[in-house]
Amino acid sequence: MAFGHGWISYRESVFFQVQSLVLLVLWVLFLLIKVFAFIDCIRRPAQAFPAVSRQSKVLWLILTGISALAGLVFQDPLGIVGIAGLVASLVYLFDVRPRIIELFANRW
């Protein structure tokens, strides 16, 4: 990489480095969310999903598992696969999971 008279200026180089760092941070953050959703889904009892009027545990395991696996394979947090996987994991975490926790909290 030559600066000044070469192919890329110093400012462009710094911009690309910052951009790469931001993408890396987003990838790690999104991957942690996806893996957490998958592990949490594994831990919940299967009978809880129909009890809260949501899809089956198997479907949520498939969605969150493929989401986490795709995050590892594609490593593009802002691509269509990365965003779709993140949305599926967030739906589980903010819609299904609280209802299951509430269902079992009321039983104690």
> What are the tens digits of pLDDT across the range 61-99?
999 999 999 999 998 899 999 999 999 999 999 999 999
Q: What token pair was written down for 29? A: 């953050």
What tens digit of pLDDT does each residue of 16-63 get?
999 999 999 999 999 999 999 999 999 999 999 998 888 999 999 999
Residues contacting residue 107 through CB under 8 Å, at least 6 positions apart: none
Which residue ranges make up each domain of the chain? 26-105
In degrees, rounded to 5, the angle at the alpha carbon of residue 89 between the alpha carbons of residues 88 and 91 is: 65
Question: Who contacts 85 (Cβ-Cβ below 8 Å, separation ≥6)?
Answer: 30, 34, 66, 67, 68, 70, 71
What are the residues whose beta carbons fall under 8 Å from the beta carbon of 8, sequence distance 6 or more?
1, 2
State residue 39's pLDDT score.
97
Residue 96 half-sphere exposure, CB side, CA atoms within 13 Å? Answer: 29
pLDDT number for residue 95: 95
Q: Are 67 and 37 in contact (CB under 8 A)?
A: yes
